[in-house]
Amino acid sequence: METQTYTNPAKLTGPQPEKSRLRMDKLLQDRVYSLSITIVVICIVASVVFPQNFPTFENLSQLLLNLSIDTIVAVGMMLLLISGMFDLSVGSMVAFAGGLTANLMYFHGFPVPLAITIGLLSALLVGWVNGYLIAYQGINPMIQTLAMLGILRGGALLVAGAGIQNLPYWFNAIGQSRLLGIQMPVWYMLLTVAVFSFLVNRTIFFRRYYYIGGNAKAAELSGIEVKKMKQFAFILSAVLAAVAGILLTSRLGAAMSTLGRGLELRVITAAILGGASLTGGVGKIVGALLGALFMGIVANIMIIARISGLWQEIILGLILISAVWLDLYLIRRSRA
Amino acid sequence: MHLQLAGISKFFPGVKALDNIRFDLLPGEVHAICGENGAGKSTLMNILAGNLQPDKGQILLNEQPVRIANPVHAASLGIAIVYQQLSLVDTLSVAENIFANTQPRNHWGIIDRAALLGQTRQLLENLQLQSIQPQILVGDLSQGQKQMVEVAKALSKHPAILILDEPTASITEREAGTLFAIIRQLKDSGKSVIYISHRMQEIFGIADRITVLKDGQYQGTQAIAEVTPTDLIRMMVGRDLEASDGPSAATREELLRVKDLSGNGFSQITFTLHRGEILGMAGLVGAGRTEIAQTLFGYLPRRSGEVWLKGRLLRVSHPREAIRAGLGYLPEDRKSQGLFMDKSLTDNIIAANFRAARPGNWFDSSVARELAQSYREKLRIVTPDVEQDVLHLSGGNQQKVVLARWLLADPDVLIVDEPTHGIDVGAKAEIYRLLRQLAAQGKGIILISSELPEVLALADRILVLREGTLAGELPGRGTTEEEVMALAAC
C-alpha cells in the first residue's frame, strides 16, 4: 500500500469531548483571549444600546485618553507581578515626578528637556532604593513600597505645594498635541505597550521574569541573577510611573500634589484583570492594556447610562472577584 | 497500648512507598525502625500520625481496627510524634509552643498565664530540662534545645505511644543522655516508644526489638539480643542490583580539582574528578553532600578552599558564573528547586541556556519549541505536547526535563543530586543510560545518591561523607554496600 495514514498515538488517548472541553478551558484561562472577546462583546452591546453616545470618535478617543496614564504605569506593574512582586508607590511617584519637573521649570527656569531628565532620574533613584531594600535586604515589597508611597506623597507636596500652573508651552505640547486627531498620550501608551510586549516576548533578559515568578529558587539554580533582576524591575516600574506623571502634568498643564491618588490600586486591578497573579509567573504585557481598557469601557458606559459613580466602584469590585474566581475554578477543574 | 499494623501499603504517583508492611508494638516496649534513606520509615510514621492515609491494610489499637483521620485524631488516640523537621513557632515562648492549642484556660475562657508557665515548668523539670525557661522565645534556643522542647510538647499530651523520628540528629551527647533517660522512664510506666534512627549504637543501647524496612518492603523484626550490627546492615542493604555495571569511560585527564573546600555543614573536602569519570558521593542524609554540590555551584557561600576547573582557578559567587565556567547542577528536590511547575516543557528546558533559543538578536519561541521537541525524542519524555505544563508529567518524566535542561546547557562537569529519587524503575534505567552516555562523551559526572546500588553500579570511584567530612574513598568496582555503610554510619 502506498497510501499510509499516520495517526499520532497521543491523539487517540482519552475520549474526544473531554479533550475539547480541556482546550476550551485552556482558552478561557488565557485572559488575553477571554478579555478581548469580552471587550468586543461589550462594545457591540454598548453601540446598540447607546448608538448616539458610545460609538463616536470623540467618546472613544476620550476613553483611550483617560486610560493612557494608568496603562503606562500598568506595564511596569505587570512586569513586577510577573516576577511575583508589586509596587504600591507608583501613584505617589506620578505626582512626585510631575511636581519635581514642573517645580524645576517654573521656579528655577530649567529648560524643558533638563527638567524632564531630572524628573526621570529621581524615579530611577526611587526604584533603585525600593529594589535594593526589597531584593538585597529582604524587606517585604508590600511594606517597602507602602512606606515609599507615603514618602513620595509628602515629597510631591513639597515640590508641587498647592499646585504649579503656567508651564512652558513646549512642555504642555508634549501631552496636549494630537496625531491623526488622537491625543498624544494615547500614542505614548500604545508605544509603551508595543515596545514592552516585544521585549518581554523576544528578549532573554525580560523572559527571565517569568522564571523568577514561577520558582525563584529554581531560577537562581538555573543561573538567573534573581536579586539583580528584581531590582531592575522596581527601577523600571518607577521610571514608567515618572513618565506617566510627567505626561499627565503636561496634559493638564499643571502639577498637583494630589495627582495619581489611588492609581496604584487601579493599576494592580487592571493587571490582575489582564491575567496577572499575585503569586507571579503569569501575565502578558498586553493584558495590562486590556485590563485598563476593560475598566475604562465599563466606567464609560456607566457614565453614559447615568449610573452613579459609587456603583462604578461596586461593579468593578464584583467583576474583579468574579474574574479571579472563575480562573481558580477553571484551574481546579483542569487539575481534577 | 498494643499497636499492630497489618498489610499496610501506600502508593505515590510512580512509586510504591510502602508495600505490605507489618508492625507490632507492645506496651512498655521500645521498638526501633531502621532502613536506608527512602526505605519508607517517614511514610509509615506519617500514617501513624494521621498525616497520610494508607491505600491498603489495617491499623489495630488494642485489637480494635482504627482509621487515623488526622493528627488531632492521632493525639486523641494517644499517639504523639516528634518530627525530624521541627513543628515549633520561633516567635512564641517555650510554654506557648508546648501547649499550642491546649493552653490552660480559666472559666472565662481566658488563657491562664500562671498555670501555663507553672505546668510548663513542671513538665520541663520532670524531663530534667530545668535549663530551659518556659517564657523564653523558642527562636532563642539552640537546635538541640528546640528538639527537646519538641519532645516535651509531645509528652505534654501524655501519650501512650511516642514516636521519635531521628531525634538525636541535632542534639548534643548530654541532651541525648537526657532523652534516653526519658525513654526509659516512659518504658517503665508502660508506655511504648517507636524509635527511628540510623545510629547503630543508639539502637543497640535503647531498643528492645527492631524492624527493618527496605525500599518500602518489610524485611523482618528481631529481638535486639539476637542480632549484631553487621546483621542489621545486611538486612538494610541486601537486595538485587537494579543497575548493571557498564564499561568505564574514565580517563586520567583531570577536569575538576577541589582542595580543602569548607562551607555550610562541611569542611576540608579534597577530591579530583577526571574526564569521562562518574564519581559517586555516598553518605547519610545530612552528611553534607548537597551542601558541597551547591557550594561548588555558587549557590551557597564558600568559606575557604580552592576549586580548579580545567586547570583554571574557579571563583564563583552565583550559579550564573558556574554555568558559564562549565558546571551544571541537577538539584535534589526537583519540585522546589528544579522545575517551574506552571511552565511548559519548552520553558523548562531552555531555563539554563536561553541563548540556544536566540538564533539572531531576538528570542524565538519556535526555535525553543524545536529544541524541546528534539530533547523530548532524545530522552523519550512521554508527553503529547511540549507546550504542556510539566506539572502534569510523571516524576520520571519531570526528572528527564530537568536533565534535558542541563544537556542543553552542555556543561563539562555535571553534578546530579539524587537523580532517581522517587521515580519508577524504567525511568531510572534511562537516566543511568544517559549518565553513562555523558561520561562517554568526556564529561565529568558527580553522582550524589542515597541509593547505594546505583552508586555502586555507576560510579568509577566513591567518596563517602560522614557529618561534613570525607570519611574515605572506595573504588567503584568490587565494593559492597556493607563497606560503604560502615564508613557512612558512625
| pLDDT (tens digit per residue) in B121-137 | 988 888 888 888 888 88
Which of A300-314, B18-32, B156-170, B232-246 is predicted least confidently? B232-246
Q: What confidence tier does B451 reach under pLDDT thresholds 50, 70, 90? A: confident
Confirm whether A40 is domain-assigned: no
Residue A46: per-residue pLDDT? 92
What does chain B come to in residues? Answer: 490
Q: Kindly identify which residue of chain B lies nearest to residue A224, measuring between CA atoms.
A: B320
Amino acid B125 reads E
CATH number, domain containing residue A126: 1.10.3470
Phi, psi of A300 (to 5 degrees): -60, -45
* Domain architecture of chain B: domains with CATH: 3-237 (3.40.50.300), 240-326+411-490 (3.40.50.300), 345-409 (no CATH)
Confirm whether A332 is domain-assigned: no
Residue A10: per-residue pLDDT? 39
**Structural contact between residues B353 and B407, judged by C-beta atoms closer than 8 angstroms:** no
Residue B245: per-residue pLDDT? 58
Confirm whether A154 is domain-assigned: yes
> How many contacts does A have with B, using Cβ atoms within 8 A?
77
Residue B258, SS3? strand
Residues of B in contact with A201 (CB under 8 A): 363, 365
Q: What confidence tier does B110 reach under pLDDT thresholds 50, 70, 90? A: confident
Q: Is the ipTM of this complex over 0.85?
A: no
Q: Structural domain of residue A300, as residue ranges?
A: 56-305
Residue B416, SS3? strand
Q: Tell me the nearest-neighbour CA distance from B362 into chain A, angstroms.
A: 5
* A positions 215-234 inside 8 Å of B (CB): 215, 217-225
Of A8, A203, A211, the CB nearest to B340: A211
Reply yes or no on whether the pLDDT at B450 is more than 90.
no
| Contact: A225, B318; criterion CB under 8 Å | yes
Total number of domains constituting chain A? 1
DSSP states along A252-291: HTSB-TTTTTTHHHHHHHHHHHTT--TT-S---HHHHHHH
| Contact: A217, B336; criterion CB under 8 Å | yes
Q: How far is CA A258 from CA A65, A90, A247, B465, in A?
A: 19, 13, 15, 64
- Pick the residue with more confidence: B381 or A136? A136
Confirm whether A278 is domain-assigned: yes
CA dist., res. A186 & res. A309, Å (int): 24
Residue B37: per-residue pLDDT? 62
Q: Kindly identify which residue of chain B lies nearest to residue A10, measuring between CA atoms.
A: B384
Q: Which residues of chain A are under the pLDDT cut of 70?
A: 1-23, 25-26, 334-336
CA dist., res. B397 & res. B381, Å (int): 5
Amino acid B345 reads L
**Structural contact between residues B345 and B390, judged by C-beta atoms closer than 8 angstroms:** yes
Other Cβ atoms less than 10 A from the Cβ of B22: the count is 14
**Structural contact between residues B233 and B36, judged by C-beta atoms closer than 8 angstroms:** no
Q: In 3D, which of A278, A296, A222 has the Cα closest to residue A62?
A: A296
Confirm whether A83 is domain-assigned: yes
CA dist., res. A284 & res. A291, Å (int): 11
Residue A65: per-residue pLDDT? 92
* A positions 142-201 inside 8 Å of B (CB): 201
- Asked if B297 is an interface residue toward chain A (Cβ–Cβ < 8 A), one would say yes
| pLDDT (tens digit per residue) in A58-74 | 899 999 999 999 999 99
* Beta-ladder partners of B15: B12
CA A57 to chain CA centroid, nearest Å: 24
Q: In 3D, which of B291, B424, B388, B405 has the Cα closest to residue B352?
A: B405
Confirm whether A310 is domain-assigned: no
* Residues B143, B148, B151, B155, CA torsion sign: negative
Average pLDDT (B386-396) is 82
CA B357 to chain CA centroid, nearest Å: 35
Phi, psi of B308 (to 5 degrees): -115, 135
Residue A278: per-residue pLDDT? 85
CA dist., res. B248 & res. B4, Å (int): 48
Q: Which of B294, B318, B350, B392 to mutate to test the interface with A (most CBs of A within 10 A)?
A: B318
Confirm whether A121 is domain-assigned: yes
Confirm whether A150 is domain-assigned: yes
**Degrees to nearest 5, angle at CA A262 with A261 and A267:** 120
* Beta-ladder partners of B25: B3
Q: How far is CA A275 from CA A7, A40, A149, A160, A282, in A?
A: 36, 17, 25, 36, 7
* A positions 194-213 inside 8 Å of B (CB): 201-204, 207-208, 210-211
Which of A22-26, B26-30, B156-160, B334-338 is predicted least confidently? A22-26
Reply yes or no on whether the pLDDT at B189 is more than 80.
yes
**Degrees to nearest 5, angle at CA B11 with B9 and B15:** 125
Other Cβ atoms less than 10 A from the Cβ of A222: the count is 30
| pLDDT (tens digit per residue) in B218-258 | 888 888 888 887 777 777 766 444 445 567 777 888 899 99
Q: Tell me the nearest-neighbour CA distance from A203 into chain B, angstroms.
A: 5
DSSP state of B336: I
Average pLDDT (B407-426) is 86
